[in-house]
Amino acid sequence: MEYTELEDCVVCGNHAVATSMVDGEIVKECEVCGNLSGDPDTIELIELQREAEGLGVSIHSYPLAQFIDNLPGVKLQGDSGGERSKGKLPFIAFELTDHRTWQLENIGQALRLVRAELECDWKIEFTFEYELGFELRPRTNDKPGAEQVEAARRDLNRIWRRLQGFKGLAWWK
């Protein structure tokens, strides 16, 4: 079979375009200008992860943390992608700057709808540290192992993806 593997970058015209698999999707990246091509959802995730690396924050929690931070009336307080070695699970902490519960209802409803697709059992925890806050985190009994941290990281991604779709639906407030 004869075929040409070499492709030109659509941006810079260079020939060194590397192919890799991300989340089961083929992504092509130009080795000169860094241009990505492939599945738009996967590329969006990779770009957000690069943004996170540039900011020095967790690539695992950044996409969902950004999504939550961008909801009207919501402000991100902090987020973590978890720590495998320390058995710390990811979380996303936020506050409701407008003191209304609609976004809490949106996130709660989204969690209910996406529950069957998730590996961990996620909850929204109420916190009080000088002010009212909320934490989205997986329920856990004992000290979580690296596998559970990884499972929760995959869930962060799933929740983020589904929230993007839910945002356009009729029930979303």
Query: Where on the chain is the footprint of Zn ion (CB under 5 A)?
Result: 9, 11-12, 14, 30, 32-33, 35
CA distances from 79 to 67, 83, 135 (A): 12, 12, 9
Given the complex with Zn ion, which of 34 and 72 has the nearer CB atom?
A: 34
Judged by beta carbon, residue 18 or residue 170, the one nearer Zn ion is 18
- Residues 116-147 as b/e (b if ≥16 CB within 10 A, e otherwise) read eebebebeeeeeeeeeebbbbbbeeeeebeee
The two tokens of residue 21 are 């698999």
**Most distant pair of Cα atoms in the chain: their distance:** 67
To Zn ion, the closest distance from the beta carbon of 28 in angstroms equals 10
User: Which residue's CB is nearer to Zn ion, number 4 or number 85?
Assistant: 4
Residue 164 CB, nearest approach to Zn ion (Å): 28
Nearer to Zn ion, 11 or 113 (CB): 11
To Zn ion, the closest distance from the beta carbon of 16 in angstroms equals 8
